[in-house]
A and B are shown apart, each in its own frame.
Chain A
Amino acid sequence: MSSMVVAVDLNKFFGDFQALDKVSLEIEHGEVLCIIGPSGSGKSTLLRCINQLERIDSGAIWIDDELIGFRQEGDKLYQLNDTEIARQRLSSGMVFQRFNLFAHMTVLENIIEGPVIVQRRTKSAVIPEAMALLEKVGLTDKKNAYPSELSGGQQQRIAIARALAMKPKLMLFDEPTSALDPELVSDVLNVMRDLATSGMTMVVVTHELGFAREVANRVVFMDRGKIIESGTPQEILSNPKEKRTQDFIAAVLA
């Protein structure tokens, strides 16, 4: 069986700064992968390249065997247009550090927006599903609230429900708990833990080493645009081989 995500030799530059340096990565179906590393190491950029919020400068990515962002013709890769990219993005759901709920919509409207407007499904079919997702994240009573009336932890759980409403093949989390007050982190991690248990393929950029140790199948350590080390949580978090990984983990735990 083929992998969910295959990324080969990704390079990404921001001006002179190389954010990704020949990164290759493979993610299995149902795998929970945590990416850790210091800020500026390229871990968020890697995530954003997978769902095409950033355009890679070279290399290629496949999601579930479909080439992402390009169409091959002969010996060249041609960039896809806006509509095709929008369609490809449906295969992955994304959760942001700053939640990014639509500020002018209620919780329920946020969740059904994608299924109704983008996937053109009927409201009567989508609303029961949205309510089931709200139940899953424990916020049914907030369906008519606006994002500004919710705490950060509640907003992030709604953001997860919104991404799941699109029925994606994999979920991408970009530091989902970094903007939260400490006491709200566990609510969000619990939702993510349930999701991992349900068999969803997940890529999580995180500083929560405890979560990575407990939930991840594999942990990847990145630094300066490169994957330095990759292995089981035990291998990376407890017995890192590389000096840079050891330093990073010591600094985080200190």
Chain B
Amino acid sequence: MANVDSTISIPPAKYSIAHLHHQPRRHYGRWLAASLIILALALIVKAFAQGQIAWPVVAQFFTAPAILSGLWNTILMTICAMALGLFLGVVFAIMIMSPNPVLKYVAVFYIWFFRGTPLLLQLLLWFNLALIFPTLGIPGLFEMRTVDFMTPFMATLLGLGINQGAYTAEVVRGGILSVDNGQIEAAKVIGMTRLTMLRRIILPQAMRVIIPPVGNEVISMVKLTSVASVIGYAEILRNAQSVYYANNRVMELLIVSAIWYLVVVTILSIGQHLLEKHYAKSQGRRDVKRVTPTEAEGV
């Protein structure tokens, strides 16, 4: 113990500063940056307040029937395209991991093509499909005119859904690869076939990895649907444009659309947060009590 003191070679008089008060460092840079940004924000707010925006018009059109029906179509398309995207994503993820080279390379090609071309271009391709295939169907069974089938809704659904599938396939593949091989062997030895194993063991465990990026993609999809305004699908931006072509309140209606997008995205973000919490729980973290099957209560 004594030799601890002997290692301190400073003269005892110098120790007296050890009880002095500590002053935190001053962050002049931070103060300067914050001041500049607040000043800039104030200027922007002032500009909007004095700008020629008719806020009453924003309020008036916020719940106008055209806007609300556009909002509904945006939500409907998000759900349908995302469902198609998830379905295709799972199918192509399984194909790309298949030992069958034909399945594998078809999936590789699909992902390569739809990730490699712009979404807007894909929408235009689907919408104009009638130019190269005037009729669709299976010869002898049924047939229909392409223009009747390829409505703006169908073209948007196929464009967004198939494009989304290419991205989701990669996410699902990552999720499946994250499942421990021991889980797969355990499923095999209790006699599960490949399909049962996928449904009961692999996909539920892959979900924990798949959910966060898919949540982000749902949010992206809400905004991506606005691209469909180009081919005349009546989503919120398209309807806002129709209104402002009539009344010239361009900025007011764009602001109305922006607010609605923010509302939907905010709600989805909260939902995503709750979903992630749920899947983290069922992965068996502590302090989790899960309701057992009711049949168990009798035991």
Contacts and interface: CB of A to CB of B under 8 A. Distances in A.
A70 interface: no
Interface stretch (B246-254, B256-264, B286-294): B286-294
A86 interface: yes
B283 to A, nearest CB: 6
Contacts of B285: 146, 148
Interface residues on B, range: 20 to 34
Interface in A87-138: 87, 89-90, 92-94, 96, 98-104, 106, 108, 113-114, 117-119, 123-124, 127-128, 131
B45 interface: no
A162 interface: yes
A118 B191 CA distance: 7
B189 A103 contact: no
A86 B191 CA distance: 4
B286 A149 contact: yes
Nearest to A166: B190
A236 B293 CA distance: 49
Interface in A68-87: 82-83, 86-87
A146 B296 contact: no
Contact of A124 (B188, B282, B295): B295
Given A102-B183, A127-B295, A143-B296, A148 B283 contact: yes
B190 A104 contact: no
A118 B185 CA distance: 15
B6 interface: no
Interface string B172-191: 00000000101101111111
Interface stretch (B15-23, B159-167, B197-205): B197-205
A162 B190 contact: yes
Contacts of B200: 113, 117
Given A131-B299, A146-B284, A87 B191 contact: yes
Interface residues of A, number: 41
Contact of A108 (B180, B283, B292): B292
Given A124-B295, A146-B284, A104 B191 contact: no
Nearest to B192: A118
Contact of B296 (A90, A92, A127): A127
B185 A83 contact: no
B193 A113 contact: no
A26 B15 CA distance: 82
A99 B186 CA distance: 9
A178 interface: no
B98 interface: no
A99 B196 CA distance: 21
Interface in B91-148: none
Contact of B185 (A87, A96, A163): A96
B277 interface: no
A217 B191 CA distance: 29
Contact of A53 (B189, B284, B286, B299): B189
Contacts of A117: 192, 196, 200
B200 to A, nearest CB: 6
A41 interface: no
A127 B189 contact: no
Contacts of A82: 193-194
A152 interface: no
A206 interface: no
Contacts of B284: 103-104, 146-149
A103 B205 contact: yes
Contacts of A144: 289-290, 292
A45 interface: no
A51 interface: yes
A128 B183 contact: no
Given A94-B189, A117-B192, 19 more contacts: A53-B188, A82-B193, A86-B191, A86-B192, A86-B193, A89-B189, A98-B182, A99-B182, A103-B283, A104-B283, A106-B290, A117-B196, A118-B191, A123-B293, A123-B295, A127-B293, A127-B295, A127-B296, A131-B299
Interface of B: 180, 182-183, 185-194, 196, 200-201, 204-205, 282-286, 288-290, 292-293, 295-296, 299
Q: State the 9 A-B residue pairs at the shortest beta-carbon distance, nearest first.
A: A146-B284, A114-B190, A100-B186, A100-B182, A94-B189, A148-B284, A90-B191, A118-B191, A86-B193
